Amino acid sequence: MALVHARAGGKGINVARVLQQMGQAVIATGLAGGTTGTAIRDDLRTSGIREHLLLIAGESRRTITAFSVGDAEATEFIEPGPAVGPEEWSRLLTSFRELAPTARVAVFAGSLPPGVPGDAYAQLCSIAATAGVPTLLDTSGPALLVGLAGHPTVVKPNLREVFAAVAELEGEVPSDLAAVGSAGNTELEDVLRAAARLRSGGAVSVVVSMGFGGLLAITPEGTWRAVPPKVSGNPVGAGDAAVAALAAGMANGRPWEERLARAAAVSAAAVRYPVAGGYHPDDYRELLRGTTVTPWRRSSW
């Protein structure tokens, strides 16, 4: 059976959708262009999500996710993003400078389109910091490494992203990763070390998402692991749901344990949901009851 869903996506929009579902006021901003850009705006409007997208000359990209229900395999076909001109980028900065002071948290998510400066996320994080707004950065590769210079309040790499970033920082070739889903202490210590490296590179806190292995948070206040019940479904966008819950917790000043429990439960609920950028509240409530959050003590995990 094939189910076809077409909707406005992209990491930032997935995060905005989940935040809206969680009852948080949210504004989606960024760059959009062409007929796909118009479709994205219309779709957001239909979903009741406030948007502040700037129109650009290029055509917004489409991605196609083919998800096989039988073997729970997802394949993504991703177009390159549209080229962004220097004038378009500077308009986005100006607009974000105006928008930032109205926010309680700013989330930056996804890869950078061609044409924007390599330190785009560092620039945006600095603007938010100047406005006194905490930031959450979810990206990978050079965009993440260079973004650290903007001192993001939280970065949320997945396992692959955190090890690749650290390998790059240390000038190594990233090794292929064994699944740390059911990680023993040695592997978790590798993750802790990698996260510590990103913190020394500029991130205040690092939350590593580890698939069904849950979330590992290394923060100035302490280190915790949150583990949701293992579920089956479509994992694409689960990280975006975790980001949304972490951002809501930051905006509302919730303690880390609570943020992490909610992020683990909502992201597990997002796995059960057929498309990225949503979850069933009943799943969330059920999975939250089964989620554990444990502070780090050597050999306690």
Ligand X SMILES: Nc1ncnc2c1ncn2[C@@H]1O[C@H](COP(=O)(O)OP(=O)(O)OP(=O)(O)O)[C@@H](O)[C@H]1O
- Residue numbers at the binding site for ligand X (CB under 6 A): 158, 209-212, 214-215, 228, 230-231, 235-240, 242, 264, 267-268, 271
How far, in Å, CA of 79 to CA of 59, rounded? 11
Which of ligand X, Mg ion, none does 215 bind, CB closer than 5 to 8 A by kind?
Answer: ligand X
Minimum gap (Å) between residue 216 Cβ and ligand X: 9
Minimum gap (Å) between residue 220 Cβ and ligand X: 21
DSSP for residue 57? S
| Angle, helices 256-272/281-289, rounded to nearest 10 degrees | 130
Minimum gap (Å) between residue 158 Cβ and ligand X: 3
Closest CA to 177 of 158, 192, 195, 205: 158
How far, in Å, CA of 136 to CA of 206, rounded? 10
Minimum gap (Å) between residue 239 Cβ and ligand X: 2
Residue 147 structure tokens: 């973004």
Which of ligand X, Mg ion, none does 210 bind, CB closer than 5 to 8 A by kind?
Answer: ligand X
Nearer to ligand X by Cβ, of 235 and 249: the residue is 235
Nearer to ligand X by Cβ, of 88 and 240: the residue is 240
Residue 233 near Mg ion by CB under 5 A: no
Backbone angles phi and psi of 220, in degrees to 5: -65, -20
Nearer to Mg ion by Cβ, of 28 and 56: the residue is 28
Bridge partners (DSSP) listed for residue 31: 54
Which residue in the shown chain puts its C-beta closest to ligand X?
A: 239
How far, in Å, CA of 141 to CA of 164, rounded? 7
Nearer to ligand X by Cβ, of 81 and 211: the residue is 211
| Size of interface with Mg ion, in residues (CB under 5 A) | 1
| Dihedral angle sign, alpha carbons of residues 12, 101, 200, 262 | negative
Residue 239 near Mg ion by CB under 5 A: yes
Residue 29 structure tokens: 């901003």
Nearer to Mg ion by Cβ, of 131 and 167: the residue is 167
